[in-house]
Structure 1
Amino acid sequence: MSNAGVGSESRGRLRAVQLEIRKRVRGKDYAAGARLPSERDLSKEFGMPRVSVHECLVQLEAEGLIYRETNRGWYVSPPRFLYNPQSKGHFTLSAEQQGRHPHTRVIDKRVVAAPEQVAELLKLPAGTEMARIRRVRSIDGRPVLYVEHYYMPCVFPNLFEHDLSVSLTELYRDKYDFHYGRMRYQIIPTAVREAAARVLRLAVGSPALLVRRVNHERNGAVSDCDLEYWRHDAVLVEVEVDD
Structure 2
Amino acid sequence: MRDEALPTVTAICRALIEQIDSGLLPAAGKLPAERRLSELFDTTRITLREALTQLEAQGLIYREERRGWFVSPPRLLYNPLVRSHFHEMVAGQNRVPATEVISARQVPASPAICAHLELPALSSVYQIRRARRVDGRLVLYVEHYLNPAYFPGILDCDLRQSLTDLYASRYDIRYGRVRFDMVPTALHGEAAAALRVAEGSPALRITRINRDQHGRIIDCDLEFWRHDAIHVSVEVPD
Same fold (TM over 0.5): yes
Q: Which runs of 5+ in 2 are unaligned?
A: none
Q: Does the residue aligned with 1:86 lie in a helix, a strand or coil?
A: coil
Structure 1 runs, 4 residues or longer, greater than 3 Å off: none
Counting aligned pairs with the same residue, the percent is 47
1:132 & 1:242 partners in 2: Cα distance? 35
**What RMSD over aligned residues (CA atoms) do the two structures have, in Å?**
1.4
Structure 1 residue 89: deviation in Å? 4.9
What is aligned with 1:196?
Answer: 191
The question of whether the paired residues in 1 share the 8 Å contact of 2:59 and 2:227 is answered with: no
Structure 1 residue 115: deviation in Å? 2.0
Give the letter aligned to residue 143 of structure 1.
L
Does residue 86 of structure 1 match 2:88? no
2:70 & 2:51 partners in 1: Cα distance? 14
What is aligned with 2:21?
Answer: 26
Does residue 37 of structure 1 match 2:20? no
Q: Which runs of 5+ in 1 are unaligned?
A: 1-5
Does residue 114 of structure 1 match 2:106? no
Does residue 159 of structure 1 match 2:158? no
Report the CA distance shift for 1:72/1:127 in structure 2 as closer, same or farther (over 3 A): farther
1:132 & 1:156 partners in 2: Cα distance? 12
The question of whether the paired residues in 2 share the 8 Å contact of 1:122 and 1:224 is answered with: yes
| Mapping of residues 226-241 of structure 1, within 5 Å | 226-241=221-236
1:180 & 1:64 partners in 2: Cα distance? 32
The question of whether the paired residues in 1 share the 8 Å contact of 2:8 and 2:47 is answered with: no
Report the CA distance shift for 1:29/1:153 in structure 2 as closer, same or farther (over 3 A): same
TM-score for both structures, normalised by structure 1: 0.93
Q: Deviations over 1:79-133 (max 9, x none)?
A: 0111111223511011001110000011111000112321121122343111111
The question of whether the paired residues in 1 share the 8 Å contact of 2:183 and 2:204 is answered with: yes
TM-score for both structures, normalised by structure 2: 0.95
Q: Deviations over 1:35-78 (max 9, x none)?
A: 10111111001101111111111111122111111222110000
| Mapping of residues 54-73 of structure 1, within 5 Å | 54-73=49-68
The question of whether the paired residues in 2 share the 8 Å contact of 1:114 and 1:129 is answered with: yes
Count of equivalent residues: 237
| Higher Cα radius of gyration | 1
